[in-house]
Amino acid sequence: MFESLSTRIQEVFKSLRGEVRLTTEQVEAALREIRLALLEADVNFNVVKAFVDRVRDRAMDQAVLRSLTPGQQVIKIVRDELLALFGEAEGGLTKHAPTPRVVLFLGLQGSGKTTTAAKLGRWLARQGRHPLMVSTDVRRPAAIEQLAVLGEKADIRVFAPETRDPVARAGGALAEAKAKGFDTVLVDTAGRLHIDEELMDELLAIRNAVQPSDLLYVADAMTGQDAIKSAGEFNRRIGVTGVVLTKLDGDARGGAALSVVSVVGVPIAFVGSGERLEDLELFHPDRIVSRMLGMGDVLSLIEKAEQAFDKEEAEALQEKLRKNEFTLDDFRSQLRTIKRMGPLESVLGMIPGLGDLKQLAENKPDDKQMARVEAIICSMTPEERRDHAMINGSRRRRIAAGSGTSVEEVNRLLKQFTEMRRVLAMIGQGGMPRLGRGMKLPPAPSKAVAVPGKKRKKGGPWGLIKTR
Ligand SMILES: Nc1nc2c(ncn2[C@@H]2O[C@H](COP(=O)(O)OP(=O)(O)OP(=O)(O)O)[C@@H](O)[C@H]2O)c(=O)[nH]1
Ligand SMILES: [Mg+2]
């Protein structure tokens, strides 16, 4: 996400960073580049203009230009002003709400309302809440069924009354929640290609019936300024308390994210970054800006890692590491854990410094390569997985044939595995870094991830998943 914007701003920063003295012409040139980059990312024209004016005002100050680190100061100003575009509010639901809290999802067709409802249900359940979902989309034939399927997947109860009246369905869910002790009601609504009166009337009727404390406008980030225009319209007609930007995993240019708060005047509450139920994050402006500026995003990553790694599993693994008993079996389960953290690309993008590695773009291990590594390990016998030393030439040929790979690939994997094991044993003995809430991350990729700044051995954990 934001790739081209991020690359361009980093280029500008690179030109500023080394400068001992900055002239007003240099700052002007940098501002021109940033302005173009923002416009190309489809940020609203007025927002760009105001942004550039604010940065110019602050950067052209003689105290900045004459300081010892003028480049750094300008970079900091740009960062501050980008942050300011997201307003004061932190992400998430509104602070105060009666119980049960009612959340209404609004938005155009296909923006991700139904998916986001299920994702949020899951997110809330993880925080110990008891959500109930209901669909009021009686227009699209499969819509009610879609929510039912997602509810089952997410293990969230879905209220499914007989009635096909949207208002009665929403009201029924609220009554059910009160009667059965659910603390949150998530109300999915029908989408339309364009805003039309019938839809607005229906939404207003639902709103008046269930009095939601949260009206989340779900916007497809890839639709850029169009999404923002209709967000404004929904806000005027129905009221919006927060925006959910979905599909940030796609090639969204960033324009919607950077303009929506300024233009519509409502905060971003959550962002969706994939099709899976786990792919919903609280919106943290500072993290998005850091990612945009190529400063990595360790906090998001740690949060994702905490969700994906089971604490006991991690401790058991640590013990194995200490005793140098890490096997190919453990390695495979680590790979599966990384998969749970999301597409490798999105994980890599969050690691500080990696945003800067040009060759990573061509060379980065992708999910397909991970799948090949997993296939190789799965083609081994349990004995082989426990004791990799027994895997001789003929076994390697069998494994390669069984996994549809080549002997070279098997060799490479085994070589990297032994190397990794050696490194991990060292780390294991030296103790692992502690992360949030007293939890320790298991090793391998997470080690590389969790300890930015520490030198990683070449061909170490991350090298391992490069299969060519
Ligand atoms: N890549 C990606 N896909 C998403 C995301 N959120 C939703 N989708 C996909 O977008 C498509 C539409 O999502 P829905 O949740 O059905 O959208 P909707 O707003 O409920 O659509 P209607 O009910 O027809 O108005 C589905 O294929 C989802 O899997 C996201 O964050 N990333
Ligand atoms: Mg839907």
Domain spans of the chain?
3-84, 101-295, 300-465
Query: 300-465 sits in which CATH class?
Result: mainly alpha
**CATH no. for 101-295:** 3.40.50.300
pLDDT digits (tens, 9 = 90+) for 287-329: 888 777 765 544 455 556 556 656 666 667 667 767 777 788 8
Q: Tokens 């499969």 map to which residue?
A: 142
Q: Ligand 1: does its nearest atom lie under 6 Å from the Cβ of 189? A: no
Q: Is the CB of 275 under 6 A from ligand 1?
A: yes
pLDDT, tens only, 404-413: 999 999 998 8
Stretches where the chain sits below pLDDT 70 are: 1, 18, 68, 294-315, 317-318, 321, 337-367, 423-468
The alpha carbon of 274 and the centre of ligand 1 are apart by a number of angstroms equal to: 9
Which residues hold their Cβ within 5 A of ligand 2, which is an ion? 113-114
**Cα dist. 132→161, 176, 215 in Å?**
13, 9, 16
Is 113 near ligand 1, meaning CB less than 6 Å away? yes
Among the bound ligands, the one closest to the CA of 273: 1
What pLDDT score does 148 carry?
A: 97
| pLDDT value at residue 426 | 62
Rounded CA-CA distance 19/455 in Å is: 27
For 239-302, the DSSP string reads --SEEEEE-TTS---SHHHHHHHHHH---EEEEE-SSSTT-EEE--HHHHHHHHTT---HHHHH
Tell me the CA–centroid distance for residue 111 and ligand 1, in Å: 5
Pocket flag, ligand 1, residue 249 (CB < 6 Å): yes
pTM above 0.85, yes or no: no
Q: How far is the CA of 148 from the centre of ligand 2 (A)?
A: 11
pLDDT value of position 74: 84
CA–CA gap between residue 243 and residue 228 (Å, rounded): 10
Out of 195, 199, 275, 280, mutate this one to test ligand 1's pocket (max ligand atoms within 8 Å of CB): namely 275
Q: Are 252 and 222 in contact (CB under 8 A)?
A: yes
pLDDT the model gives residue 193: 84
Question: Does 47 contact ligand 1 (Cβ within 6 A)?
Answer: no
Cβ(101) – ligand 1 distance below 6 Å? no
Q: Is the CB of 143 under 6 A from ligand 1?
A: yes
Tell me what pLDDT residue 458 has: 37
Separation of CA 247 and ligand 1 centre (Å): 8
CATH topology of domain 3-84: Four Helix Bundle (Hemerythrin (Met), subunit A) (1.20.120)
Q: From the alpha carbon of 279, which atom of ligand 1 is closest? A: 31
8 Å CB contact between 10 and 293 = yes
CA distance 189 to 60: 49
142 lines ligand 1 (CB under 6 A): no
Ligand 1 pocket, 135 CB below 6 A?
Answer: no
- 300-465 has the same fold as 3-84: no
The amino acid at residue 201 is D
- 447 within ligand 1 shell (Cβ under 6 A): no
